[in-house]
Every structure is written in C-alpha cells, then in structure tokens.
Amino acid sequence: MTAVAGGTRLLRSASVRVALSYAAVFIVSTLLLVSYIWWRTTGYLDQETDAAIIADTRAIADRLRDFGLAGALATISDRVKEAADERAIYLLTDPLLTPLGGNLNAWPAEIGRQAGWYEVRLVQGDKLHMTRILSVDLPSGFHLLVGRDVQDRVQIRFMILRGLGWASLAALALAVVGGILVRRAVFRRVESINRTAAAIVQGDLTRRVPTSRSADEFDQLSGTINEMLDQIQRLIEEVRSASDAVAHDLRTPLAEIRGRLEALQRRQGLGEAAFEEIGKTIADIDRLISVFNALLRLADIRSGVRRAEFREVDLDRILADAAELYEPLAEAKAMTLSVESPGATTIKGDPDLLSQAIGNLLDNAIKYAGSGGAVAARLDRSEAQALRVEVRDNGPGIAPEEMPLVTRAFYRGGGREIPGTGLGLNLVEAVARLHGGRLELSDNHPGLVAALVLPLAPGPPSQAAAPH
C-alpha cells in the first residue's frame, strides 16, 4: 500500500507528468520515424527482389521457348550452382506438379495452382526462412516457381522493433528520473511558498516567500507574491487599526455615560419612572459594550495571533465549568441542564476561547429552549481524530433555510424578541476555524443540536465551517 501511495503521489506531480508526456511524444515520434524508414527500406528491398525474380523468370521462360525443356533445365541448373544465387529458389514442374528441376523437392503446399506472388516459409538449412516466390504458368502446361530468401528482412524488422522497444523503455526511465529530479528542484521552491502561506494563515503576517539570486520565474513569482502580501498586510493593519479605534473610541464614552447614569440612579428625589428609564438606558449601553467586546474578540480570533497561545487543555474540565456557570440561569427558568462526558480529555487549544465558545452554545440553548425546557451537553469521540462537544435543546429549533445564515454576524432570524447581539454562533464558528475544526448545526426534532467539532491535533485554520 505504501508503494502504491508513493506511486500515486509521484504521478500527481506536475513535473513528472510533463516528463512522461515528453517521453510519450518522443516515443510516438520515434515510432513514426522508424515506421517511415522501415516502409521505405522494405519497399526498396522488395523492388530489388521482385526485379531479380522477374528477370530470372523471363530468362527461364525464354530458354524454354527457344531450346525446349532441356534449355530451361540447364538454365535453372546454372542459376542454382552460382554462388551469388545461393539464396535463390527455383522449381520447374510438369502439369501434375511433379518436380523436373530446381532446388526444391516438391511444390509447396502453401502455393496453389494460381499464378501470382506468394510469401511462404520454407525449410532451408533445418530452419524456416521467409521466402518471396513468383508462380508462373509456362507453355505446354509447365509450372515455374522463382523466389528469393527474404529472412534477412524479417530479422532486420525484428532488430528495429527490439531496438525501438529498448529505446522506449530507456526514454520512459529517463523521463521518470528526469521528472523526479525536476520535481525535487521545483518542489523545494513550491514548498517554501507553501510554508510561507501556511504561516500567514496561522497569523504570522510578517512572513515572506524567500527568493534566490537567479532571478528566474520562481523569483519573479515570489516577488509578486511578496508585494501582494505587503499590500494585504497594510490593508489588514489599516482595517484592524480602524476597527480597534472605532471600538475603543465608542466604548469609552459609552462607559462614561453608563457611569453618569449609575451616579444619577443613586441620587434621591428621582421619580420611579426616571429610575426605570435610567435602568433601561444602562441595559442598552451594556448591550452596546458587549457588542464592541465581541467584535474586538472576533477580530483577535480571525487575525490568527491567538494560535501562539495554544496549550494542552482539558476539554472535559472546560465543559464542566461552563455548565456550572450556566446552571443558575437554567434553574431560574425551571430548566434541566445535564452534562455527559467520558472523563479527562486533552486537546491543544486556547482555553479562554474554547470556554467562551462552549458558553455561547449553552447560553443560546438556554435562551431559546424556554421555561421548563431541557438542555443536554455531551462530550464524546465519535470521530477517529476529533472531539465533539454537542449541546442539545428541545426548543423551537432553526428552520432549514436559516441554518446557513445563523452563523453570520448580527443575524437574529426569528428570535429578535430574545435579548442578544447576534454574534454568539459567529464567534463559535470563528473559534472552531481557529482550531482547525467546524461548527455543525442540525435538527433535534424538536430543538437544535449545535456541535463544536475539534481535531485532537490542530491543523491549519479551517477555510469554511458551514452548518449541516
């Protein structure tokens, strides 16, 4: 399995695929070239062979016409005895195909009585040789076979095909080796870009793609990427600075207004209505301050800098503390809050953010389940390399068409009459992404199941965490 997986990864490499493509083009072009050369060569050899056979056939036919059977047999005997014609084939027979002269003992079974060209295998020197033969009908019912041994042409073709096969194998081997070498050279450059991108995704906006002094295409690409990263960093810092400035500048006067209202609330002589309005104003200001605090926390999470604070945390302990914190709120609404956990379960993460995310899930469940409802929190390892924190309630739940929308910032859906900022699930999703996990929402029939799925070994931040 390891070898197969390694081969699959090798074939996925662009450089290896390009090298194999070039090898395929080389093999096909070589095959076409060799085929053309072979076609021209065999054509020339066939013409030469056929011309020699036709010349011998005419000579024997002429001697038969001029000097009779004896003259034809003498010509055939002379031709057979010539050393230059040791590869020649001659056979003269009577109308019954009985041999009269030549160097064949019998009429070949592969050749019929019809005149024409034939290519047959004949035994010569205890070996089968490919032979090209012309069958001719002569006057007085005589039959004549004249041929040439063309076994050398077959051997040449075999040698060419074998050479082409070895050349193809060598081309493939060189292509694979060359592809691996190119892949290693390219992979080092690409891997440096991947490492830089991964570091930036994890919050280190100061990382840049290293360049060499070669000024090649990779250096040009690296320079362009670095310029893009510089621009992105400037824009992010400007947006972050503007957001922080707005949040801090607005939070400070709101806190001052709240302080003045509290001081005014403590004075004597104010009417009951004034105290009530002051209390409502303070509550509104508290809600605005919580929104600004949530926005600042979201900006901090999404920047990725909090990953530097990851450490080993006991998720079971965090869940138990969050349930203990929200238990009085559940009791005040006559609700049951139960917790189920397998015991100490350790993962690597930010304990404060995980505590807030689980608290937000419990807070949402208690808010929307209503008086007399039930909320159940459970921690388990239903997935091989992940932990799952589920919070279930039996409230009205969320309509299917709203599932993809409830994690958006400030989205309240049909629950606007219930106090809140609309940032709770948005923050939970951001925390899940930061830890390389996801937030899953599903129907509890009735109610909602909100699950925070966290990997045991945190990877890079997730790019999406859509509800299911």
Which residues does 346 contact at the CB level (< 8 Å), separation at least 6?
Answer: 312, 313, 314, 315
pLDDT at 85: 52
Q: Is 266 exposed, middle or buried (0-12, 13-18, 19+ CB in 10 A)?
A: exposed
Both 143 and 29 in one domain: the answer is: yes
pLDDT at 387: 86
Both 149 and 56 in one domain: the answer is: yes
Both 296 and 405 in one domain: the answer is: no
Task: Report residue 216 as tokens.
Answer: 């090649």
From 245, 275, 300, the end of a domain falls on: 300
Both 326 and 294 in one domain: the answer is: no
Q: Are 221 and 186 in contact (CB under 8 A)?
A: no
The number of folded domains in the chain is 3
Both 8 and 154 in one domain: the answer is: yes
From 246, 268, 300, the end of a domain falls on: 300
Residues 196, 201, 203, CA angle at the centre, nearest 5°?
100
pLDDT at 399: 80
What global pTM score does this model have?
0.47
From 142, 158, 174, the end of a domain falls on: 158
CATH number of 443's domain: 3.30.565.10
The single-letter code of the amino acid at 433 is: R
pLDDT at 269: 60
**C-alpha distances in angstroms, 216 versus 173, 223, 257, 336?**
28, 11, 61, 67
Read off the pLDDT of each residue in 257-282 and give the average, rounded to a whole number. 70
Positions of E strands within 331-400: 336-340, 346-349, 374-383, 386-393
Write out the residue range of the structural domain in which residue 223 sits: 217-300
pLDDT digits (tens, 9 = 90+) for 131-177: 888 999 998 889 999 988 888 777 777 787 787 778 777 777 777 77
CATH number of 281's domain: 1.10.287.130
Any domain includes 183: no
Any domain includes 442: yes
Any domain includes 199: no
DSSP assignment of 72-100: HHHHHHHHHH-GGGTTEEEEEE-TT--EE
Nearest to 422 by CA among 323, 288, 329: 288
Give strand pairing partners of 454. 387
Both 225 and 355 in one domain: the answer is: no
Both 19 and 63 in one domain: the answer is: yes
Any domain includes 163: no
Both 9 and 102 in one domain: the answer is: yes
Both 144 and 70 in one domain: the answer is: yes
Both 29 and 58 in one domain: the answer is: yes
pLDDT digits (tens, 9 = 90+) for 309-336: 678 888 888 888 888 888 888 888 888 8
Share of the chain above pLDDT 70, in %: 76
Q: Is 430 exposed, middle or buried (0-12, 13-18, 19+ CB in 10 A)?
A: buried
Both 252 and 327 in one domain: the answer is: no
Both 318 and 449 in one domain: the answer is: yes
466 pLDDT higher than 60: no
pLDDT digits (tens, 9 = 90+) for 185-205: 777 777 888 888 887 777 677
* Average pLDDT along the chain: 77
Any domain includes 223: yes
Which residues does 210 contact at the CB level (< 8 Å), separation at least 6?
Answer: 192, 196, 222
CATH number of 98's domain: 3.30.450
What gap in Å lies between CA 267 and CA 189, rounded to an integer?
A: 71
Task: Report residue 304 as tokens.
Answer: 């990725």
Any domain includes 53: yes
